[in-house]
Structure 1
Amino acid sequence: MRQPQRNDMYVNGEGMKVVVNNVLAPNPAGVQILEYKFIGSPELHFIPVDEFTGQFEFVETFSSFDIYIEERNKILQLKEEEEERAALARKKAKEEAASAIKR
């Protein structure tokens, strides 16, 4: 099994991609904590390495931060497109309701 390292990308069972930000030194109890974040999210998450490797599968290592930015931008673009479709659907529903009221 691969030991997680900084800039490694993993995927969970739901297809959500995460990037390892840091692998901390073991604490006095010998537990090593891993810091990661979901691509497209600014939130950092902390989890013991053993739990992480049980939940996530290795995909690739980023050769540079630019690759992470590209991946994040793709996700953000998909979210924007989804929001635009939802706004368009709401607008259409309002127009249909308004035309129904006029009848």
Structure 2
Amino acid sequence: MSGTRTHVSKQAVLDAAARNPHDVRAGQVWRDNDPRSNRMVKVFYLDGPYACVYEVDQRGNLMPGEQRRMDRRKPRRIRLDRFRPTSNGYALHSK
């Protein structure tokens, strides 16, 4: 039947992300591919199926306000399978 969608559980998505399909590593800087954004994030550590990141500039320095977030230990968490070069993903900027 055309047009039907199969259900994928949230756990299956997290399991796939946990395998780190795009070899994301701490210290890398990734650029958001969303054309509305010019955001770059630096991976500080991996936490299961997530990369814990803080927003940085092109040189890898924390953006204003991110130091406060870091002091509170509240990184942004991005699923590892989103680090792919598509319009709704991320592209590797520097290793």
Taking structure 1 as the reference length, the TM-score comes to 0.46
Instruction: Flag the structure with larger Rg.
Output: 1
| Structure with greater contact order relative to length (CA < 8 Å, sep ≥ 6) | 2
From the two aligned structures, give the one with the greater helix fraction.
1
Taking structure 2 as the reference length, the TM-score comes to 0.49
